[in-house]
Amino acid sequence: MLILPLARKPDWRRPPVVTLLVVAVNLAVFFLLQHDDHRHSRASEELYLGSPLPEIELPRYADFLEERGRYGRAREVREAVEEGPEARAWALWELQGDGRFLEGLHGGEVVAPEDPVHDEWRRARAAFEERLEAVASQRWGFKPAQPAPEDALAHMFLHGGTGHLVGNMVFLVLVGYVVEAVVGGLLFFGVYLLGGLLATGAFAAVYSHSAVPLVGASGAISGLMGAYVVLFGRRRIPFFYSLGFYFDFARAPAVLLLPVWVALEAYQLLFGGVSQVAYVAHIGGLVGGGLLGAGLHAAGRVDLEFLDRDEQEERDTADLEQGLEHLAKLELDAARARFAALLERRPGHREALSNLYTVARYQPHSDEFHRMAHRIFALPENDPATLRFKRETFRDYVATAKPRTRFDPGQFVELASRFATGGYPEEAVPMVDALLRQGRMHPRLPRTLMVVARALTRQGQRERARGYLQALVERFPDAEEALEAQELLGHPDPAG
């Protein structure tokens, strides 16, 4: 069974830099340091099989197994000695993965110094181990029977093959960037490393005598997965699940995935048969990551806004859709309530504003209609989409408002300036004309006249631009902009 959380798309305005760096390091280690691992491993195996070591070590390993009651495995090793290179290769890696036997081997208990073959064995063993050191996964993989702090960290960036690497990196990207967005890059990396170390510790506790090198980022990624679901807690998240031939999508409280994941790993460990997958490390990572996530929550080091965004978007979508349904049926009070609830949570929500304006438009003489129009005009953003929204609303408001539009000079000046700056001087012209005609002066009107003049000039309407510059000089001779207008009027091109 596979359960994969489906997080939202990354926000590339705030890219998951640390997640991408961790992915890059994993890829670099694999393709730059491990690209020859298979060749080096094969070469070390051939060196072993072509040396006296199989005849010296493998029978003694079989004896070692028998002494510990592992008669079936001892028999298989003895048969391998007789069967040939392929079987002997299997027996070699069994021996190399047995930490207790290797401890006795290196301690002089298996081939004692007084043994007639000791010198020959020692030279052959030294040559083999030197060749084996060229295999990155053997050199830097974590071996519980021979623990080293540097290996506990290094093994998280090693992989056993391309499939192993790709699978881990997919999970790392899917889960990692969300954790990074919630807690920040530094804490994300801390969870990655600490989760990996806890996974390694669980593996070492269960397989303390193993000399098989543990490699792969899956323990650290399991730590991120444990932290991920605990950070989201009871918030419902979407996820994909597969039961072999059947698969589907569902939503559930995030934290429920943690016991499910742990149970799946435990089931595979107990009933999945022989496998190269480190299920114990996965369990350790999941539990450890969950504890780390709980600790970050308790310390207040999480971005709650990011965590709540999915549920907020669901509520926003529900309010918008239901409001539109009410509006289509002309159930104006019900529609207004839905759009207003959305706008209260999201004050700048464009569609909520637009639809509330539409609701109010059914009563163009009402205070609500004028208030909603001015709320749109007051939006602080000046991007092209917002300016178009304001322009469309302005045109409709001028044509619809009863008995007339409601503007004070400050609002008129501000809106005219924004239209002119945004490339819509045709909207600004009648506004400043009305102010000039009515003699309703405002402190910001000189600057608006200058903005309108420059916008008209950019559109090639130089004569109209000169008219506003002349009005600026005549009406506001003491204004700072009047000096600038005089200079432009003396220039053949007022844009100058």
- Euclidean distance between CA atoms 485 and 472, whole angstroms: 7
Q: Alpha helices, DSSP H only, in 234-366?
A: 257-271, 279-298, 304-328, 332-345, 350-361
User: Distance (Å, rounded) from C-alpha 63 to C-alpha 75?
Assistant: 10
Rounded to whole angstroms, the Cα distance separating 319 from 76 reads 69
The arithmetic mean of pLDDT across residues 428-435, rounded, is 89
Confidence of residue 137 (pLDDT cuts 50, 70, 90): very high
* Average pLDDT rounded to a whole number, residues 76-97: 94
Long-range contacts of 450-453 (CB under 8 A, 24+ apart): 450/481, 450/484, 450/485, 451/417, 451/420, 451/421, 452/416, 452/417, 452/420, 452/425, 452/428, 453/485, 453/488, 453/494
Question: What 3-state class would DSSP assign to 2?
Answer: strand
For residue 182, give both structure tokens.
């919630």
Give the residue among 458, 408, 402, 455 at the shortest CA–CA distance from 429: 455
Measure Cα distances from 210 to 45, 103, 143 in Å.
Answer: 19, 11, 6
pLDDT of residue 180: 95
Residue 223's closest CA among 203, 253, 252? Answer: 203
Q: What is the pLDDT of residues 2-53, one digit of tens each?
A: 777 876 677 777 889 999 999 999 999 999 999 999 999 999 999 999 999 9
Quick one: pLDDT at residue 434? Answer: 87
pLDDT at site 275: 67
Q: Please give the order of strands across the beta sheet that includes 2-5.
A: 2-5, 236-243, 246-253
Q: Please report which helix (H) or strand (E) contains residue 420, including its range.
A: helix 409-421
Distance set, CA 315 to CA 231, 236, 252, 278, 318 (Å): 20, 13, 16, 41, 5
- Is the predicted pLDDT of residue 143 greater than 90, yes or no? yes
Report DSSP letters for 50-93, one per residue.
Answer: TSSHHHHHHHHHHHHHHHTT-HHHHHHHHHHHHH-HHHHHHHHH
* Measured distance CA(172)–CA(23) in Å, rounded: 8
In this prediction, residue 274 carries a pLDDT of 58
- Residue 213 pLDDT exceeds 90: yes
Q: How far apart are the C-alpha atoms of 202 and 198, rounded to whole Å?
A: 6
Q: How confident is the model at residue 269 (pLDDT cuts 50, 70, 90)?
A: confident
At 470 the pLDDT is 92
Spatial separation of the C-alpha atoms in residues 346 and 342, rounded to whole Å: 6
Contacts of 325 (CB under 8 A, 6+ apart): none
pTM greater than the 0.95 cutoff:
no
CA distance 431 to 426: 9
pLDDT in tens, 317-352: 999 999 999 999 999 999 999 999 999 988 889 999
pLDDT tens-place string over residues 274-307: 567 889 999 999 999 999 999 999 999 999 888 8
pLDDT averaged over every residue in the chain? 91
What is d(CA 53, CA 60) in angstroms, rounded to the nearest whole number?
Answer: 11
In this prediction, residue 268 carries a pLDDT of 87
pLDDT, mean of residues 248-265: 89
Residues of the chain above pLDDT 70, percent? 97
Three-state DSSP class for residue 3: strand
The predicted structure's pLDDT at residue 273: 64
